[in-house]
Chains A and B, each alone.
Chain A
Amino acid sequence: MSRWTVVAEQESRDLWVGGRGPALVFGFSVLLSAMTYLAATNQAMNFLEQREAVNLIVQVGLAVGVLLTVVVSADAISGERERGTFEGLLLTPVSRRAIVVGKLAAASTIWLACLVVTLPYLWVLGRGVAGAVQAALLALTVGTLVATGLGGISLLISAVTNSNKTSLAWGLLLLLVLFAPTQLPALPKTGVGEVITRVNPIGSSLHYVSQILVSRRDWTHDLSYLASPIVIAVIVTGVLIAAGPRLVRLTAGPR
């Protein structure tokens, strides 16, 4: 087993056996249950077409799943520094690059768990319109790209801060800044708005998903919208691998 997988396995065990992961995923399932029940039963939301209901669950699942990935990543290095457990990890015969890659892989497991929890809701809302399988595949591919990119950025922030509060605050601020433009409904229809949507990994991903699920476009039709999440995921992973030895230190800041 390569070194990074050892770190990933240990970090995943801490996350899932330690109880933090199951508690977060439980909260996530309560939110999805409320959304699904409202979408399926509420008379006021009756105009919501079945495919739109599936799209709503994919968007909420993706947004909250990425949020949880960012929260877990933000704690990965600065949290260990704060708890005083990082020294022990640095003394193990594992390269610092393996530590950072293993931590990113472990943080990504929370996204995968959110995806698995989302599946029954997609199935119950998407029955009969052949939307559930398509939605699940979209959530897997697009969501994994966004979770890797933003989780990686959050891990970078965690590596350069000593305080867990600081890294968490920066991670959440980043998410807020990226989510806010997605709430402007007509944004992709204006010239500047389309540029903002395409640059924003969350905005472009949600737009791509809704174009396929609601507008029934072919999956290749708006593929260029995935450029931003792909580029960010590749660059951030590359930076983490290349700069890992310099990032993983007992304390953040200049030597």
Chain B
Amino acid sequence: MNLLNLLATVALADPTITMNQDDLTAVIGQTLTVESVVTGPAIAHLNVVSLDGVYVDLEDWSQDVTRTVPTEEATVDWEFQAVNPGRFAVYVVLIPQNGRLVAGPPVHVTVSRRETLDTGGALPVAIAVPALLGIATLTGTARRLLGLRSKV
């Protein structure tokens, strides 16, 4: 009887999820990857929830949030982009063929704000390069026209 119980426990064991990280820090816009080890057969789904009450649009964070997990233990990489500032929990849910949902441990992601890129450096380059090329183009055109006129 004990042996049957043991076999039943092994055969009907709940799918499990382990994550390779507990905490992550990122700057807004950064692309992050977390690795999960999951047992199937099941469908694995990535989810992101804000711990500050900020609205999270999952599509903005990742385009690839649902994976089919084969029977064996499998390593699944999840790539996502931190598009909101604040504190978030990223976790994986397994939807098995039979039985209840299994949620994995959350990975806490702290996303810091970033000011815009270096405005001071961008503006001079954005003005100087076309200005120099414009002057060179006009000078060349003027020389060509003057050359043609002198030939006439």
Contacts and interface: CB of A to CB of B under 8 A. Distances in A.
B125 A19 contact: no
Contacts of A32: 129
Interface string A170-210: 00000000000000011001000000000000000000000
A214 interface: yes
B29 interface: yes
B133 A127 contact: no
A117 B28 contact: no
Interface string A209-222: 00000110000000
B122 A124 contact: yes
B131 to A, nearest CB: 9
Given A189-B64, A214-B31, A41 B117 contact: yes
B21 interface: no
Nearest to B128: A120
B28 A47 contact: yes
Given A32-B129, A121-B129, A19 B117 contact: no
A52 interface: yes
Contact of B129 (A17, A52, A117, A186): A117
B63 A125 contact: no
From B63, B64, B118, B136, name the one whose CB has the most chain A CB atoms within 10 angstroms: B118
Given A120-B125, A186-B64, A22 B118 contact: no
A26 B137 contact: yes
A42 B130 CA distance: 20
Contact of A40 (B83, B114, B118): B118
B116 A40 contact: yes
Contacts of B121: 40, 124, 127
**Interface size bucket, B side?**
20 to 34
A37 B126 contact: yes
Question: Which residue among A33, A34, A48, A121 has the maximum number of chain B CB atoms within 10 Å of its CB?
Answer: A33
A interface bracket (residues with beta carbon within 8 Å of B): 35 or more
B116 A41 contact: yes
Given A29-B129, A30-B130, A125-B117, A49 B122 contact: no
A41 B140 contact: no
Contacts of B64: 186, 189
A50 B114 CA distance: 10
A41 B118 CA distance: 8
B114 A36 contact: no
A50 B28 CA distance: 10
A214 B117 CA distance: 16
Given A36-B122, A52-B29, A124-B125, A17 B144 contact: yes
A53 B116 CA distance: 11
B133 A22 contact: yes
A29 B133 contact: yes
Interface in A21-62: 22-23, 25-26, 29-30, 32-34, 36-37, 39-43, 46-50, 52-53
Contact of A37 (B79, B83, B123, B128): B123
Interface string B24-45: 0001111100000000000000
Contacts of B128: 120
Nearest to A29: B130
Contacts of B141: 19
Interface of B: 27-31, 63-64, 79, 81, 83, 114, 116-119, 121-123, 125-130, 133-134, 136-137, 140-141, 144
Interface of A: 17-19, 22-23, 25-26, 29-30, 32-34, 36-37, 39-43, 46-50, 52-53, 117, 120-121, 123-125, 127, 185-186, 189, 214-215
13 contacts: A25-B133, A33-B126, A34-B126, A37-B126, A39-B117, A39-B122, A40-B121, A41-B117, A46-B114, A124-B118, A124-B125, A186-B63, A215-B79
